[in-house]
Chain A
Amino acid sequence: MNPHDLHFRAAGPHDLPAFERIAAASATGITTLPADSAVLRDKLERSAQAFASSDDSSGEEIYLFVVVDQAAPGGPRVVGTSGIAASAGFADRFYSYRNEMVVHASRELAASNRIHTLHLCHDLTGHTLLTSFYIEPAYEKTLAPQLLSRGRLLFIAEFADAFSDRIAAESPGLSDDNGRCPFWDAVGRRFFDMDYPQVERLTGGRNKAFIAELMPKSPIYVPLLPEQAQWAIGQLHPVAELPFSILLDEGFDTETYVDIFDGGPTVDGRVAMLKSVAGSRRRQLTAPATGSAASDSAPWQIISNTHRQDFRAVLRRADPTGESVIVDAAACAGLAAQPGRPVRTVTLHEAQA
């Protein structure tokens, strides 16, 4: 497919059918998008409000985005979603387990052991949180996931005041189709007599804090857990490999935090250090000189407009240097921006593209 046909934009209430379809398709993975129309409608409305208000942000905002394939058979179609929560655990606490190593040593016994412990913590409370990533399987091999994941980082770069300078993202941990989750079974279940899917339903779309408050407050000594559960700590559910690899490439740290329920990795980083933020810059949208064409050897760029309410981004090959970025009229239309307007661009490197 032609990456020119992929349009990234702010989602709105009219995207509800697409979100319902996606929530139903993604049995595993996105607890922030439960298959519940009322919840989804509410989220889309809150998202539209967040895009519309340029007032001082409260931290409660969520921003949802979609990627649309303009050339899909049967007409333009939403093929993926992504999102941002301005402030993790807003108005409450955001719980994670922090990996820590303690060295226990006895000179007399000539023994020294590195002991892995998990500490229940609120470190990530107030961090901006990347959420709601989903891409239709048919588009996994295209540039769509890149656009979906990194497009929202351009939004954060453009409207940095609305976000924390620290950012995190949760990824689903290991569980099977029957809801067996080795980490939950070894840890959470000892404190609640519930299966993991039951707990997910309880927490789906809600703040997890009220469950987290019932989790053990003292560190968990990993050597005491069953081997299967030890192995699951920081392990990714296979469905999350693609979005996770993009976050990894952005420079997120994967070693420090895990989810308190399923042990999946929670990555974190400084916004300013992320590749798509640090590497992005404001340039001027410029129409090509008559008869010229973009070189096939130019690298792919994500180009976003600078509109808060009607935020959009497209993919084009373009010269990454200079103050202006030369793109075709279709791109300008995709961005809802005329030549001469400012845009933000970031280069997709070969490894990413």
Chain B
Amino acid sequence: MKATLVRPARAADLPMLAAWLPQAPQLPGTADETLLVAEVAGDDGEPALPLGSLRLRRAVGLGPPRVWYHVGCTVHAASELNLFHCQRTLMLGHDHTGASELADIVWAQGDLPLAEQAATLHLLVQTALLLMARDRGHYADRLIAELPGPRDSAGDSPFWQGLGRHFYGGDRHSAAAAHGAGWRTHVAALLPRQPIYTSFLSEPAQAAIAQTQPEALLLREVLEQAGLRYGHHVNIEDAGPVLEAPTDDLPTVRRSRRWQVTHSPQQAPHHAPKAGATAYVALVDVPDGRWQAARVRGHVHGSALALSAEDLNGLGVEAGAPVWAAALGGDGS
């Protein structure tokens, strides 16, 4: 398997990304967003092949407000009636305003083995976390990532059918196409402001709450491995879960630091890394203010991170150069 690199997106990536995303992507206009692209080198001078992309946002909801439902509970109890009911509630709010976000995560699926798809997603997510750690001051104390909710056989969201549709009669898909991601902000103005008892919703709508679309389960697994968790928020359109974590609790952020790289003492091409070598995700600055990141294996050598010549080459750095890197946990986190 050839080495996969993650780097900032270029204009040339956009046509490929457009095929994966619901809305035609744009390169970030400001430093508030970074569009990451994972690619694998092509054969013999062929252009590299994009494998996936992820948009890292520094802070969400500070322009047009972002909305989510908080999934809560209210208890109705009466001992003299032997009654105890825990009612699930949905409360519209802007709870994650200001959080950083991993968004628009798309990846090549086709007939790629799941393990390869997972590796791509993993590298995209870990690279985003390294960027956050490197520029920690630019990112929020909380990180979120939205996952899509289930669809029924007709392609509709059962949650939307049970709730949103009663408050917005128009076509959700054309509204989303016309307004882009901001459409949820607009439709939120039409949704109930007060808590909704989910028992007033249809059974399929209730069942959809916080469920992940099957196609996105792999992504959920990768995000959970990285340390994000469902925290009782869902998106207002299809009730897909919002995963979240305190930024500084994420293992990759916690473990990351600046290193100098050095040659591994036992360097030899294709030489299996010696016992004790650990998987790292490493990010280096390259000319023109750009950067690139890759997964490497290395071990701590004094105050330096020792890498094989192949990994140094893959990262495009010379010994002695600074890198940002974080050891990946035994479980790959």
Least Cβ–Cβ distance between B147 and chain A, in angstroms: 25
- A178 close to B (CB within 8 Å): no
Q: Is the CB of B76 within 8 A of A191?
A: yes
Q: Is the CB of A115 within 8 A of B192?
A: yes
Question: What chain B residues lie within 8 Å of A186 (beta carbons)?
Answer: 200
Least Cβ–Cβ distance between B314 and chain A, in angstroms: 47
- A288 close to B (CB within 8 Å): no
- B175 close to A (CB within 8 Å): yes
Question: What chain B residues lie within 8 Å of A190 (beta carbons)?
Answer: 87, 197, 199-200
Question: What chain A residues lie within 8 Å of B187 (beta carbons)?
Answer: 106, 109
- A71 close to B (CB within 8 Å): no
Question: What chain A residues lie within 8 Å of B182 (beta carbons)?
Answer: 108
Least Cβ–Cβ distance between A198 and chain B, in angstroms: 11
Of the stretches A128-136, A211-219, A333-341, the one at the interface is: A211-219
Q: Is the CB of A225 within 8 A of B200?
A: yes
- A105 close to B (CB within 8 Å): yes
State A130–B187 Cα separation when bound (angstroms).
Answer: 45
Q: Is the CB of B189 within 8 A of A105?
A: yes
Interface 1/0 per residue, A144-186 and B, CB below 8 Å: 0000000000000000000000000000000000000000001
Residue from the list B186, B193, B200 in contact with A106, Cβ < 8 A? B186
Q: Is the CB of A214 within 8 A of B78?
A: yes
Of the stretches B41-49, B164-172, B224-232, B263-271, the one at the interface is: B164-172
Least Cβ–Cβ distance between B138 and chain A, in angstroms: 30
Residue from the list A105, A106, A108, A221 in contact with B196, Cβ < 8 A? A221
State A190–B200 Cα separation when bound (angstroms).
Answer: 8
State A162–B78 Cα separation when bound (angstroms).
Answer: 35
Question: What chain B residues lie within 8 Å of A76 (beta carbons)?
Answer: none
Q: Is the CB of B166 within 8 A of A223?
A: yes
State A218–B78 Cα separation when bound (angstroms).
Answer: 18
Least Cβ–Cβ distance between B295 and chain A, in angstroms: 43
Interface 1/0 per residue, B154-198 and A, CB below 8 Å: 000000000100111110000100010011001101111111110
Question: What chain B residues lie within 8 Å of A108 (beta carbons)?
Answer: 179, 182, 186
- When A and B form their complex, what is the total count of cross-chain residue pairs whose Cβ atoms lie within 8 Å? 82
Interface 1/0 per residue, A186-205 and B, CB below 8 Å: 10001110000000001000
Question: What chain B residues lie within 8 Å of A113 (beta carbons)?
Answer: 167-169, 190
Q: Is the CB of A191 within 8 A of B190?
A: no
Q: Is the CB of B190 within 8 A of A105?
A: yes
The number of residues on chain B lying at the interface, defined by a beta carbon within 8 Å of a beta carbon of chain A, is 34
State A352–B190 Cα separation when bound (angstroms).
Answer: 45
Least Cβ–Cβ distance between A190 and chain B, in angstroms: 4
Question: What chain A residues lie within 8 Å of B85 (beta carbons)?
Answer: 191-192, 214
- A111 close to B (CB within 8 Å): yes
Least Cβ–Cβ distance between A268 and chain B, in angstroms: 24
- B117 close to A (CB within 8 Å): no
Given contacts A218-B195, A225-B200, contact A106 B190 (CB under 8 A): yes
Given contacts A106-B186, A113-B167, A192-B83, contact A210 B78 (CB under 8 A): yes
- B89 close to A (CB within 8 Å): yes
Question: What chain A residues lie within 8 Å of B192 (beta carbons)?
Answer: 115, 219, 221
With CB as the reference atom, state the residue of chain A lying closest to B165: A223
- A220 close to B (CB within 8 Å): yes
Least Cβ–Cβ distance between B103 and chain A, in angstroms: 21
Given contacts A106-B186, A190-B199, A216-B87, contact A224 B78 (CB under 8 A): no
- A104 close to B (CB within 8 Å): yes
Residue from the list B163, B166, B167, B194 in contact with A218, Cβ < 8 A? B194
Least Cβ–Cβ distance between A20 and chain B, in angstroms: 29
Least Cβ–Cβ distance between A221 and chain B, in angstroms: 5
Least Cβ–Cβ distance between B86 and chain A, in angstroms: 11
With CB as the reference atom, state the residue of chain A lying closest to B201: A224
With CB as the reference atom, state the residue of chain A lying closest to B162: A224
State A223–B77 Cα separation when bound (angstroms).
Answer: 27
Q: Is the CB of B189 within 8 A of A104?
A: yes
**Contacting residues of chain B (53-92) with chain A, CB-CB under 8 angstroms:** 74, 76-78, 80-81, 83, 85, 87, 89
Chain A to chain B: the 7 pairs with minimum beta-carbon distance, closest first: A223-B166, A108-B186, A106-B189, A218-B195, A190-B199, A104-B190, A224-B200
